[in-house]
Chains A and B, each alone.
Chain A
């Protein structure tokens, strides 16, 4: 193991390490801790210039109540869910099929189609902005959740296919050959043999895509406007315009907006990290 395990060092070093850990963490998360503290302060603290001192009074219920009952926030959150969940399902379904095709079958254009997905996934997506916005307008889907979902599915399919294909390549191929010898139809092999083995990959991708799409801001701004279809990342800017300079409310709003992917991460940590680091080790 590298670096040398701390247990092999002197007791002083061990003590120093263990006491430095929480301090380092505190410094690392300092900006976030500050915002969490903002969100429980009363408005009067900010007018009196008490930005970083102890809260004048505990106003968490008031502040978060305002966010939930006195703003468009719940609306934006719902929109985010209605955009994120269908995208996750769509992208995972499409890429599971494409990954199966590219991972199992040998045909001449296989590697080129694979590279098309990989390359498209690396593209700076600003180059897609004008044509995609036009296309969405032409289909009458501008400022709808559907328009946003369709684009997200398409774009995420690139990354997901890369992921799925590499995962399927690692499955034991003799299993599939055995099924073929038995005369099992190809689509049944996909459904009954390969798909059950892909469960870890499906879970990892679902968690990852959920976070990516929930946090998307650029496409939300390009393809939607107004509270009827904007997700929370874009909504938070109008929320902030509504409560200009009301730091206690703006920070409460930001925390609420950030919460679902954070919960997702802490509940599904193993899958999340497996998804992110696939390929980081051979």
Chain B
């Protein structure tokens, strides 16, 4: 009984330590994130309702920027190209799975093969873009040389309005496939060998085995591959800027590149218009973000 009275009255901090500590630890990260990421999203949405050159007075124009977008053929081209990126970039997932299955063996030196196959992912997109633009050179490029071996004429991939976007996406697929491959290699490592053997005894093999036994077990890897590929497709900017700079005739622009062009390049400093393009891109992404968060949320609750 005496011990209790001897205890010193504890300080406010000591009494509330468990409640206060997380906020102290969170404070710097939240501060940085709010200032540089969360607030700017809303500021951008705000700017999209103004006509502003970045220096002078901003003028409220309501929805005018969005109305103008509806009639802007360059915007339409960018939107379609973004769609192409989304669809074709997803090829990285099956391609990555294919290479992972090919490399999932134990022969001498396989580890080095795996890391060399992964290698393109470590390169910056700038270097990938340069490497591929030399690969695509109209006459001297390796691609044209190889095509001429099989009797096809030289092809100026990046100079051709119909092919240029696909050429850039192919360049982007190179590192992205490597990324998906490494995700699947890790996933394959964790596949339950007993289930595989059991399925084998039941006579499953080849495609059936892959489809009904292996792929369901690779679901977490597929989810992450899907997330990173979608984000990569919508953020694509570096490759376009390096390989074609939007050309030929603006046919390889995507939304992110077009907004940069409108807001910050020689085409004039139209901040409001650029912000409106960014908002459209954001809204597209929001659909996916909602889906990602929903998946993560249901998994959290399942724990």
Q: Which of B37, B188, B260 contacts A126 (CB 8 A)?
A: B260
Say yes or no for B32: interface residue by CB 8 A criterion.
Answer: yes
Size class of the B contact interface (CB-based, 8 Å): 35 or more
Contact (Cβ within 8 A) A277 B183: yes
Which residues of B in the span 105-147 have a Cβ within 8 Å of any Cβ on A? 105-107, 113, 115-120, 122-127, 130-132, 134-135, 137, 140-142, 145
Evaluate contact between A128 and B289: CB separation under 8 angstroms.
no
Any A CB within 8 A of the CB of B102:
yes
Q: For A277, list chain B residues within 8 Å (CB).
A: 182-183, 186, 221, 224
Contact A132 B106 (CB under 8 A): no
Q: List, in ascending order, chain B residues with CB within 8 A of A153's CB.
A: 32
Whole-angstrom CA separation of A190 from B285 in the bound complex: 36
| Residues of the B chain whose Cβ atoms lie less than 8 Å from the Cβ of A133 | 264
Residues of A within 8 A of B120 (CB): 28-29, 32
Given known contacts A24-B102, A185-B17, A34 and B113 CB-to-CB distance under 8 angstroms: no
Residue B131 contacts which of A1, A24, A222, A254 (CB distance < 8 angstroms)?
A254
> A28 to chain B: which residues have CB within 8 Å?
116-117, 120
B26 at the interface (CB under 8 A from A): yes
Q: Is B86 among interface residues, defined by CB-CB distance under 8 A?
A: no
> Which residues from chain B contact A129 at a C-beta distance below 8 Å?
44, 259-260, 263-264, 274, 278
How far does the alpha carbon of A240 sit from the alpha carbon of B120 in the complex, in Å? 21
Q: Which single member of B22, B104, B174, B279 contacts A101 (CB below 8 Å)? A: B22
Check A107–B47 contact: CB distance below 8 A. Answer: no
Residue A281 contacts which of B186, B255, B285 (CB distance < 8 angstroms)?
B186
Q: Are A102 and B22 in contact (CB under 8 A)?
A: yes
Known A18-B107, A217-B125; contact A127-B131, beta-carbon cutoff 8 A? no
Complex Cα spacing A126 to B257, Å? 9
* Interface: B79 (CB within 8 A): no
Can you list, as one digit per residue, whether each of A91-120 has a CB less than 8 Å from chain B (1) or not (0)? 000110110111011010011010111111
Q: A115 to chain B: which residues have CB within 8 Å?
A: 293, 296-297
Stretch with Cβ within 8 A of B (4 or more), from A61-69, A197-205, A259-267: A259-267
Give CA–CA (A105, B18) in the complex, Å.
Answer: 8
Residues of B within 8 A of A110 (CB): 22
**In the bound complex, do residue B278 and residue A127 qualify as a contact, i.e. CB atoms below 8 Å apart?**
yes
Q: Who on chain A is nearest to B205 by CB?
A: A4
A161-B29 contact in complex given A31-B142, A123-B41, A124-B235, C-beta closer than 8 Å: yes
Which chain A residues border B214 with CB–CB below 8 Å?
A: 2
Report yes or no: B28 in contact with A97, Cβ–Cβ below 8 A. yes
Q: Judge whether A123 and B25 touch: CB under 8 Å.
A: no
Give the chain A neighbours of B293 by CB distance below 8 A.
115, 118-119
Q: Are B33 and A157 in contact (CB under 8 A)?
A: yes
A-B contact pairs, 13 of them (CB 8 A): A31-B174, A94-B28, A107-B19, A118-B293, A128-B41, A129-B44, A132-B40, A161-B29, A211-B122, A217-B241, A236-B130, A262-B122, A281-B187
Chain A residues within 8 Å of B, Cβ to Cβ: 1-7, 17-18, 21, 24-25, 28-32, 34-35, 38, 49, 51-52, 94-95, 97-98, 100-102, 104-105, 107, 110-111, 113, 115-120, 122-135, 150-151, 153-155, 157-158, 161, 185-187, 190, 211, 214-218, 221-222, 233, 236-237, 240, 247, 250-251, 254, 257-258, 261-262, 264-266, 269, 273, 276-277, 279-282
